Structure 1
Amino acid sequence: MRVLRMPVFLMTLATLAVHEATERLSISRDTTVMGLLSQFDGTATTVFVALATLRTSVKSESLEENARMWRRSVRFQFAAAFALVAFIVSTAAAHYTGLGSWAVALNLTTTAAVLWALVGPIEPA
């Protein structure tokens, strides 16, 4: 959990900021858009849960390689968890329009979590 303290803190602040910025936009009350966001989040959740399981299926001889793979796996698990929360909120927002700005905010920050998982910090070779 220590590895994720700062990313969780930053993503929470970013989600709150985006929520405040999108609260009055008409897109946040459009149920069709929320349905599309829900589909995106469901797909992202499935993909990142599958990628997060790579840690258990790939082992290296080097401790450094194992540590690098573990850190990458944690980033994928973080992206999967964020995508799952966004999926739940987007699905609910398709029925309850008051959650639309939260769904939009979570989708934007989910995109950041996905990019962090894919690219991640550059590590020395």
Structure 2
Amino acid sequence: LPGTVASPWQDGGVYLITGGAGGLGRIVAREIGASVGNATVVLTGRSPLDEQRRRELNALRASGLTVDYQRADVADRNAVARLFDDVADNHGPLTGIVHSAGLVADNYLIRKDPEELA
């Protein structure tokens, strides 16, 4: 149909979502689950999972997704290399990456102190 956009998600796909335990990452994972019958999402974050996040990831699993949470800091090149190796070894080649990691430090650039800027 004219004006329609094909879903970027593939059935059987393996998707890495940085910042995946955060709100935006979980929204993307839910969208993948709603769009395809079978997919794997590897969610990354720097923090260990608390009980609330575990429940949220279990809800994603209940929707039919294969969900793997990996602690990794995407600003650490070696951690990312290990993460890619782990994904390839356990889930196969990546189909896509969604970068949604970040920190909330809202401020205009001109008003940032050196620590915020770093």
Greater helix proportion = 1
TM-score category, normalised to shorter length:
under 0.3
Could you say which structure has the greater relative contact order, defined with CA pairs below 8 angstroms and 6 or more residues apart? 1
Greater strand proportion = 2
TM-score between both structures, scaled by the size of structure 1: 0.26
